[in-house]
Amino acid sequence: MTSSPSPETRPADPSPVVGIVMGSDSDWPVMEAAAQALAEFEIPYEVDVVSAHRMPREMIAYGEEAAERGLKAIIAGAGGAAHLPGMLASVTPLPVIGVPVPLKYLDGMDSLLSIVQMPAGVPVATVSVGGARNAGLLAARILATQDAELMGRMREFQQELNDQATEKGKRLRSKVTTPNGFGFGGAK
C-alpha cells in the first residue's frame, strides 16, 4: 500500500496561474467544471467569490493585482446581471473568459447577454451558457501557446475526442442499416 507523503516531504503547491472567480458560491456547481478541466491538464488554479455588485472594491483589487500575482488568465462566472467578467476585464491586461451561469429565470440568457456584449476595447471571451468546461479548456489552450509540453497534451486530448467521436459513428452505423450502406467513417 502506498502512503501519501508527509506534509514536510510533500512538494509545495505550485502557484496558481488561472484564477476561477464567481459572483457567488451558488455558481460553484456550474463553475466546478472549469476547475476539473484545469486539473486534468495539471494546471494550478485558485477559486474565489468576487462579486462586482456586492464587493466592488475587492473585485477591483483582485483584477488589478491578478497579473502581478502571476495569474495568466481569469475565468469569471456569474448569473443574472453578470457584470463581473466585464469589470475584471476593464482592470486587468490578462485574458478574461466569461461563463454565463443559468439561474432560475431566463435560462441564462440574461447572463449570456450581460457578458458577451462588451464594448470595443474590453474583450471577454464568452463561452456558452453553463460552458465552464470549455472555459477551462480555453485557458489551457492560452497557456499552451507558451508551453510546448502542454501543447502536446492538448493535441493528445483532441485526438482522444476524435477517437471517441469515431467510435460513436461506428456504434451508430452498426445499429442503423442505411439503404446504400454508406458511412462517413468508411463503413462498407
Decide: is 79 part of the binding site for ligand C2R (CB under 6 A): yes
Is residue 133 annotated as involved in ligand binding?
no
27 is in an annotated binding site: yes
C-alpha cell recorded at residue 45: 488554479
Binding positions for ligand C2R, 6-65, rule CB under 6 A: 22-24, 26-27, 51-54
Compute the least distance from the CB of residue 113 to ligand C2R, in Å.
12
Under the binding rule (CB under 6 A), the answer on residue 90 touching ligand C2R is no
135 grid coordinates? 472555459
Q: Going edge to edge, which strands form the sheet with 73-79?
A: 45-49, 18-22, 73-79, 96-101, 125-126
- Taking CA atoms, 45 is separated from 11, 27, 35, 56, 118, in Å, by 16, 17, 7, 22, 25
CA 147 – CA 126 distance, rounded (Å):
23
Least distance to ligand C2R from the beta carbon of 25, Å?
Answer: 7
Q: Which stretch binds ligand C2R (CB under 6 A): 76-84, 137-145, 164-172, 173-181?
A: 76-84
The residue (of 16 and 23) whose beta carbon lies closer to ligand C2R is: 23
CA angle 35, 130, 125 (to 5 degrees): 80
Q: Does 110 bind ligand C2R (CB under 6 A)?
A: no
Grid coordinates in use for 35? 476547475
State the nearest-atom distance from the C-beta of 56 to ligand C2R, in Å.
Answer: 8
- State the nearest-atom distance from the C-beta of 188 to ligand C2R, in Å: 52
- What is the residue-wise DSSP string for 38-83? HHHTT--EEEEE--TTT-HHHHHHHHHHHTTTT--EEEEEEESS--
Q: Which residues make beta-bridge pairs with 21?
A: 48, 76
Q: How far is the CB of 55 from ligand C2R (least distance, A)?
A: 8
C-alpha 72/C-alpha 130 separation (Å) is 22
Contact call for residue 116 and ligand C2R (CB under 6 A): no
Residue 90 is labelled as binding a ligand = no
Which of 37, 43, 84, 99 touches ligand C2R (CB under 6 A)? 84
Q: Which residues bind ligand C2R (CB under 6 A)?
A: 22-24, 26-27, 51-54, 78-84, 101, 103
List residues forming the annotated binding site: 24, 27, 54
